[in-house]
Chains A and B, each alone.
Chain A
Amino acid sequence: MTTRSAIAVDTRTFEGISGVFEVGVLGMGDLPSAHTMPRHLIDVLTALKQERGFTHLSLLTAAERPAETPGVKMVYAVTRRTDHTTLMLSVDLPEESLRVPTIVALWPGALPLEREVYDLFGVVFEGSPNLRRIVLRDDFAGHPLRKGFVMTPGGVDAEDLAWALASHGDDGPAPQPENSDPKRTVPLPYPSVAEQLARPGDPILHSQRQLLHMGPQHPSMHGVLHLWLALEGEMVLASEVTHGYLHRCIEKLAETRSYRACTALVDRADYVSGFHTELALLMGAEELAQIEVPPKAQYLRVLMSELVRLTSHTTWFAACGIDVGAFTPMLFSFRDREAILDFFEEITGGRMMFNYFRPGGVKDDLPAGCADRLHAYLKTLSASIDGYEALLTTNEIFRNRTCGIGVISPQTILDFGVTGPMARASGVDIDLRRDEPYAAYADFDVHVPLGEIGDSFDRYAVRIAEMRESARLAMLALEGMPEGDFVTPGVPRAIKPPAGCAYRRVESPRGELGVYLESDGTAQPWRMKIRSPAFSNLHVTNAVLPGRRISDIIAIVSSVDVVMGEIDR
C-alpha cells in the first residue's frame, strides 16, 4: 500500500498555504487531510489547484458533525493527476451559520454537487449561480441527510402521497434563485435555459423559442432522466439536466444498516454494474476496520469487476444502437449479456443484484468447472465484439451521426470532473485500475484505450476497446487465480470499525466511483456517500448540448452512458 509515502506528501503539500489547520485531522488512514475555515476555503483550494497541481475535484460532500458540536462538515477531495495524490479538506460549519462560499468559479462541475449538498443538508453556498434542489422536489420540506431529520418507519404515508400527487413539485426553469446576491454571484458556466427562453426568436424567420421537456418518460432518456431544452426549431440553445426521479434515499438508509447490509443497498445504486459499488464500499469498510483480504478473494474481485464491466458495456451498446435508430445491435449484445449473467447466476446466485462481496473477501468460491467454462466463453467474446462492430463501427450513417458530435475538450473534462471512458475518449489518460491499483490490479498490466478528439464516436470506440480489454483481464484473472481462502476467517457478521473516515475509489464502467465512509464506532456507518461518476459525466452535457440539434442530444446523452440509479441514489 501507499500509506507511508502518502503521509510524507501530507506535510509538504500543505506547507506555505495560509488558512490550513490541523493537518491529518480527518483520521483518513493513508489519505492526507487538513482542515480549514469557510473564509479561507477559496484561497486554499485556489492554491492547491493552481500552485500545487491538484486539478481534479474528486469529491464534494458533507457530513453531520457529532452531537456535541452541532453542525455540518463539508468534505472536499482533490486529486493531482501527475502523481495520483489525493488530498482531503474539511470545513466545519456551525449549526447557526451553515454557509460556505461556492467553488463554482474554480470547478464548474462543483455546481450540481453543491446543489446536492444544499438539497440534502441545507448548506447555503454563497454566490452560487443556481442554488436550488436537485434530487428532491422543489417543494420538499427539510433536508433529509441531517441527523435531525428522522425517517418514519414505513416511509411515506398516505397524507404525504396525496400532497405529492397534488402538484408536480417542479417550478420549471427559473432565471435566478431567490437566495442569491446578484453582485457576488459567479456566472453560470453554461447557457441558462430561462434566459435563452426569455429572448426573442430569429427576427427574419419570425420563429418562437420554446421549452421542451425531454423525459422523464422518453424512450432514450435511459430511465428517468429529464432535460429542459430551450429550442429554436430543432436547434438547442440551452439545456439543463434535471433528475431526482429515482432518488431512493440510499445514503440515508445506509446509516441504519450494517456494513454488510449496505452492500445490498449499493448494488441497487449502479444497477448495471453492482460489483463496483460493492467493492468501493467494502474497501472503505475494510480499511476502517483493518481487515485483510486474501489474495484469492482479490483475484475473484478483479474477475467479477471485469465481467460486470462487460455486461454494463453490452447494455450501453444496446442503448447506443437504439438511440441512433438501429434496433438490431441490442439483440446482438444482449446475447452476450445473457451468457455472462448466466455465469453470475451460477457464481453469486443473482443476475443483477449480487451481494457477493463481503468484508474480508467474497461470499463463495467459483463452482466446480465454472472457471474452465468461463474461460472458454471469454475466448469467443472477441469474435462477438467483431460482430457488434460490423453493425455500427464502419457504418457511414453511424459515423455521420457520431463523429465530431459532442466534442469535449480535456479542459472541460477537468472542469466538470468527468472521468472514465468519457475522459479517456478526450485523450485524458486516467484509469484507476492502473494509476491507483486496488484489489489485485497491481498484478495486471491494464491497457488503457484512448481517443483523440473526444466526440461521441471516440467514446463509442473507447468502450468497444474496453470490452476487449475486460475480456482479456478476466481471462488473466482466471489463469492466475491463486489458491487459498476466499474470505478471511473470523470476520464477524456485523463489523464495528473504530471512528474515522475513509474514501476509496474504483474504476467503474462509467468512471471514478468513490465511496466516502465515516464511522462513529458503531456497526452502522455515520455517513456513506457514493461519488457517482455518471453524475459528473451527465452534467457536462449542459455545456456540450447548446448549438446542437435534437438528434444530436440523443447521440451525446447515449455516449455518456447514464445510469439514473447511481446519479440520484
Chain B
Amino acid sequence: MMLVLKTLLGVVVIAVVVLVNTVVVMWCERKWAGHLQSRLGPMRTGWHGMLQPFADALKMLGKEDFTPAGADRLLFGVAPVLAYAPSIFIYCATPWMAQFVGYSFDVGIFMIFAVAALFPVSILLAGWAANNKYALMGGFRAAAQQISYEVPMIMAVLGVIMLAGSMKLSTIVDAQAHVWNAVTQPFAFLLFFICMLAELNRTPFDLPEAESELVAGYMTEFSSMRFAMFFLAEYTNLFTWSLFTSLLFLGGWGGPGPAFLGFVWLLLKTYAIVFMVVWVRWALPRLRVDQLMEFGWKVLIPAALLNMFFTALGIVTNVFVLVGLQVVLLVGFVWLVSRIGKRAGHGAREVAAARASASPEVTP
C-alpha cells in the first residue's frame, strides 16, 4: 500500500515538475527569441507574458477537434498521445538529485534512448495518418533524420560511459565531481549537442516541420488538443534533452554549497543549454534533406567513431592525451565543416565581385 502511495506521489511530483518546466521553457523561448530579434516577445499576459503558454494551451483546448476526411482515424488519434507519452515516461529513469530519482536503473541511459526513440515513430504515424502530402513528407523526413542522428548521438555518449565505467546516470554524474565531461570530452559534447538539435527537430534541422516548405510539416492537419500535445511534447523534449546534456556533460547536480542546492544547479545548467538551443534556432537557416543526411552519415558518424577510439586511447594513457586528442578532433571537425561550405560555396567570389563594382562610398 505504502509502495503504491509512494509511487503515485512520485509520479505526481515528477509530472508537475516536468509540466511546470515545459511551460517555463516555452516562455523562455518566446521571450529570448523576442530579445534576440530586437523585440519584446509576450508582454501582456501576466508579468512579462509569464502566463502566455497557459493562455495558448487553454485556447487550444477549447478549439474544435477535427479529423480530416480520408484520415486514418485510429492512428490520427494515437499519434499525438504516442508523441507526448514517452516524453513524460522518460522521467521514470531520470535522476534530479542523488536522492531524487524515479527508479535508478543500472542501464539508465539505455532506457532513456530506447524510450526517446519512440518519438519519431509518432511523427511518422502522424504524417501517415493525416492523409496530407505535406504531412507525409514531414513524417518521412522525421523518420529518416532521427534514425540517422540517433547513431552518432549514442556513440558520443559512449565516450562518457567509458569514462565513468557505468551506464547509470547517477554514477556518471558522480564521476564528474571534480571535472566536467564537457572539459575532458569537449568534442563529444559538441557532437551530442548537434545530434540533440536534430532529435529535437530544431533549426537548422527542423526539416520535419519546415514551415516555409511543408506548411507545418507532420502537424499540418492537427488542431485543438491533438496539436497541443505535439506542441507540449516538443518543448518537454527540449527540456528533457537539455537536462540530459547537463547530466552527462555539465556535472549534473554537482556544484558548490549544500546538497539541496544541487537541484538549483541542475536547473541552471539545463536552462543554459535551453538558451543555447534557442539561440541557434533563431540565428541559423535550415539545411536541405540530402545535406542533412550527408552531414549525419558522412561526417558525424565517422567523427563519433573517431571520438570513441580517441577516448579509449586517452583512458589507457592519461588525461592529457585524452583532452589533447579531443582538441585535435574539435579543430579537425571545424576545419572539415568549413571545407564542406567552401566546396559548395566557392569562397567569397560573388560578394567580392558584386561589392567591387558597387564601390560603396558610404563611410559612416
Contact = CB atoms under 8 A, between A and B. Distances in A.
Interface of A: 210, 212, 218-220, 234, 321-328, 331-332, 335, 378-383, 389, 391-401, 403-404, 447-453, 457-458, 461-462, 464-466, 468-469, 471-472, 475, 549-554
Contact of A550 (B137, B286, B357, B363): B137
Contact of B37 (A328, A392, A458, A469): A328
B39 A396 contact: no
Given A382-B362, A450-B357, A552 B288 contact: yes
Interface stretch (B11-19, B149-157, B335-343): B335-343
Interface in B193-220: 203-204, 206-207, 210-215
B38 interface: yes
A244 B363 CA distance: 45
A222 B282 CA distance: 21
B317 to A, nearest CB: 34
Given A325-B204, A447-B357, 20 more contacts: A212-B133, A218-B215, A328-B283, A331-B38, A332-B38, A379-B364, A392-B285, A394-B348, A404-B344, A447-B358, A447-B359, A448-B357, A462-B354, A465-B354, A465-B358, A471-B362, A472-B358, A472-B362, A551-B289, A552-B288
A382 B349 CA distance: 20
B133 to A, nearest CB: 5
Contacts of A554: 212-213
B282 A327 contact: yes
Contact of B212 (A324, A396, A458, A552): A324
A452 B350 contact: yes
21 contacts: A234-B289, A325-B204, A325-B284, A332-B38, A335-B38, A379-B362, A379-B364, A382-B363, A382-B364, A396-B345, A400-B341, A401-B286, A401-B291, A447-B357, A449-B355, A449-B358, A450-B357, A461-B353, A464-B354, A472-B362, A551-B286
Q: Main SS of chain A's interface residues?
A: helix
Contacts of B137: 234, 550
A212 B220 CA distance: 15
A327 B184 CA distance: 35
B283 A325 contact: no
Given A325-B206, A325-B212, A403-B346, A466 B353 contact: no
A118 B50 CA distance: 58
B39 A395 contact: no
B83 to A, nearest CB: 22
A461 B346 CA distance: 13
B36 interface: yes
A48 to B, nearest CB: 32
Pick the most buried of B211, B215, B286, B354: most chain A CB atoms within 10 A of its CB: B354
Pick the most buried of B214, B283, B346, B360: most chain A CB atoms within 10 A of its CB: B360
A-B pairs with the 9 shortest C-beta distances? A325-B286, A399-B345, A396-B341, A465-B354, A382-B362, A449-B354, A326-B285, A324-B285, A220-B212
B350 A457 contact: yes
Interface string B276-287: 000000111111
Given A328-B36, A465-B358, A383 B364 contact: yes
Q: Main SS of chain B's interface residues?
A: helix
Contacts of A218: 215
Pick the most buried of B204, B213, B341: most chain A CB atoms within 10 A of its CB: B213
Contacts of A458: 350
B37 A331 contact: yes
B5 interface: no
A387 to B, nearest CB: 11
Given A322-B212, A323-B212, A325-B203, A397 B284 contact: yes
A451 B354 contact: yes
A466 B358 contact: yes
B168 to A, nearest CB: 37
Contacts of B351: 389, 393, 461, 464
B56 interface: no
A494 to B, nearest CB: 42
Nearest to B136: A210
B333 to A, nearest CB: 13
A76 to B, nearest CB: 33
B357 A457 contact: no
B213 A550 contact: yes
B299 to A, nearest CB: 12
Given A382-B364, A393-B351, A552-B288, A449 B345 contact: no
B64 interface: no
A359 B287 CA distance: 50
A458 B359 CA distance: 17
Contact of A549 (B133, B289, B346): B289
A465 B137 CA distance: 37
A332 B38 CA distance: 8
Contacts of A331: 37-39
A458 B340 CA distance: 19
Pick the most buried of B36, B341, B348: most chain A CB atoms within 10 A of its CB: B341
A321 to B, nearest CB: 7
B340 A400 contact: yes
A400 B291 contact: yes
Contacts of A397: 204, 284-287
Contacts of B204: 325, 397
Contacts of A326: 203, 283-286
A453 B361 CA distance: 27
A472 B360 contact: yes
B285 A401 contact: yes
Contacts of B344: 399-400, 403-404
Contact of B349 (A212, A378, A393, A452): A452
B280 to A, nearest CB: 11
A461 B358 CA distance: 11
A471 B359 CA distance: 12
Nearest to A324: B285
A219 B212 CA distance: 6
Contacts of B291: 400-401
A451 B350 contact: yes
A280 B111 CA distance: 69
Nearest to B39: A331
Contacts of A210: 133
Contacts of B338: 396
A84 B167 CA distance: 75
Contacts of B211: 219, 325
Given A331-B39, A549-B290, A398 B350 contact: no
A52 B78 CA distance: 69
Interface in B209-260: 210-215
A219 B285 contact: no
A475 to B, nearest CB: 7
A378 B362 contact: yes
B47 to A, nearest CB: 24
Contacts of B207: 551
Nearest to B207: A551
Contacts of B290: 549
A399 B355 CA distance: 17
A461 B337 CA distance: 23
A397 B338 CA distance: 10
A545 to B, nearest CB: 14
A218 to B, nearest CB: 6
B357 A472 contact: no
A450 B354 contact: yes
A464 to B, nearest CB: 7
B213 A220 contact: yes
Contacts of B37: 327-328, 331-332
Contacts of A399: 341, 344-345
Contacts of A383: 364
Contacts of B285: 321, 324-326, 392, 395, 397-398, 401
Given A393-B351, A397-B287, A219 B215 contact: yes
A300 B172 CA distance: 71
A468 B133 contact: no
A327 B36 CA distance: 11
B293 to A, nearest CB: 11
